[in-house]
Amino acid sequence: MATPVEVPKLGNTVEECLIAKWRKHKGEQVSAGEVVAEIETDKATFEVTSPADGTVLETFFDEGALVPVFTNLFVIGAPGENIDAFRPKGAAAPAVELAAPAATPDAPKVERQVARPAPPAPSGSLSPRARRFAAEHDFHPAAVAGSGPAGRVLEDDLRQQYYESPRVSSLANKRIAEGLEIGGEGSGTGGMVLSSDLVLSATRMSGIRATIARRMRESLATTAQYTLHTSANAGGLLLLRAKIKASTGVPDININDLVTFCAIQALLAVPDVNVEFIDGKVYKHREIHIGFACDTPRGLMVPVVRDAHTLTAGQLSVKMKELTAQTVQGTVSPDDLSGATFTVSNLGGLGIESFTPVLNPPQVAILGVDSIQLKPVRREGRIEFIDAIGLSITFDHQVIDGAPGARFLKVVKEKIENVESICTI
């Protein structure tokens, strides 16, 4: 019996998902538990599996489509079963996919634009004459709207599309097959598209990227951001880190974990920074949920350690490593990607000496951690060099003025410089 599979609801705030990739196509055999599609929310990528053994009877959306949750995504069943009842209303009109072209090693001259190779599909959807036209003209568009009964593609449908398509030179066609795209009007004879008319393909922004883009735009548009820079003596941090490395049986707490731990201690001391600013109201939080910026192959993501103030440095370190691994792999739950009250962003590992972190509204502060640099200091009339870690903190001036902001940063600095006394391992 044909079984439809829906787009799952992947978190409380997720309304729609992007079809990132079809791992199985129409007509392919799958077994229960096998991945059929990869879908993407604005925060992470998920796999949709087949509930049963069978054949993929239909996939309702193209890659790149944005599909509401609980919408039928594909149907598994036995070949020949009718799936029309499961077709969602929003799905694209059933454009008929043409059979993949028979292997022709060298296509003839002055080819028409050949779209990406269509996946294998039943050839019954083309009339015999249409099939002959396609073969004779080496014309295999990805989709043609058929005007015959049940959307059957007739020769005239193909012919019309053939003559309306831009002519593409043989060389340009070969370059298109390598991923270039037609950039505009052809500059050759009669508007023929030449290789010089091709451009690098524009890629569709992933859902995650689009979300980052939107949030960053909103951040700059709705807040009054300013950044303060200072540095803290990192001697204690480095000593402690060396001690941790030398010990056995303790979590591998790194410099970033320690600085985050110090920031949490500073927030406990200055609770006015652990707030959110929404619609003109300032919401104070007793709990400290720490977001930390995480660089992933899909873009910036910010997993959140809940109730971070209740954790020891060791527990914090373990939790952050766990969330980092899940985030990089794309298996993190959407609920672990929201709800932070304060964020830490560390670019020190990349050698950055200072930067301007961008706020994650409605939070009002984000701490940037910079690299450790040698810094001259005057001590009893002598110049000495110390290891200093750079700190760059951005505040929302709507809520936190310069002086209180500077005072908070001073507290962070003190916590870091006294890390050995506040953090026991």
Instruction: Give the residues lining the site for another protein (CB under 8 A).
Output: 105-110, 169-172, 174-175, 187-189, 192, 194-195
Nearer to another protein, 169 or 274 (CB): 169
Q: Name the minimum Å distance from CB 195 to another protein.
A: 6
CA distances to 175, 183, 196, 233, 398 from 200, in Å: 10, 8, 11, 48, 43
Tell me which residue of 231, 289, 261 sits closest to 419, measured CA to CA.
261
Pick between residue 192 and residue 318 the one whose CB is nearest to another protein: 192
DSSP 153: B
Is the sign of the CA dihedral 273, 277, 280, 284 positive or negative? negative
Shortest separation between residue 187's beta carbon and another protein, angstroms = 6
Query: Which DSSP state fits 250?
Result: S
66 or 182: CB nearest another protein = 182
Min dist. Cβ of residue 112 to another protein (A): 13
Strands 66-68, 16-22: pairing is antiparallel
**Nearest distance, CB of residue 180 and another protein, angstroms:** 12
Tell me whether residue 110 or residue 422 sits nearer to another protein (CB atom).
Answer: 110
Write out the two tokens for 368: 């940037």
Cβ proximity to another protein, 15 vs 185, nearer residue: 185
- Minimum CB separation of residue 174 from another protein in Å reads 5
- Angle at CA of residue 392, ends 385 and 399, nearest 5°: 140
- Residue closer to another protein by CB (options 39, 176) is 176
Pick the closer one to another protein by CB: 188 or 361.
188
Which CB contacts under 8 angstroms, 24+ apart, belong to 233-236?
233/386, 233/387, 233/388, 233/416, 233/417, 234/372, 234/386, 234/387, 234/388, 234/389, 234/416, 235/386, 235/387, 235/417, 236/416, 236/417, 236/418, 236/419, 236/420
253 to each of 15, 248, 307, 335, how far by Cα in Å?
37, 12, 18, 25
Q: In whole angstroms, how close is the CB of 28 to another protein at the nearest point?
A: 32
Cα–Cα distance list, 161 to 151, 164, 189, 330 (Å): 15, 5, 20, 41
Q: Containing H/E element for 300? A: strand 299-301
| Residue 128 C-beta: closest distance to another protein, Å | 25
| Min CB(173)–another protein separation in Å | 9
Nearer to another protein, 194 or 425 (CB): 194
Q: Is 342:367 a contact under the CB 8 Å cutoff?
A: yes
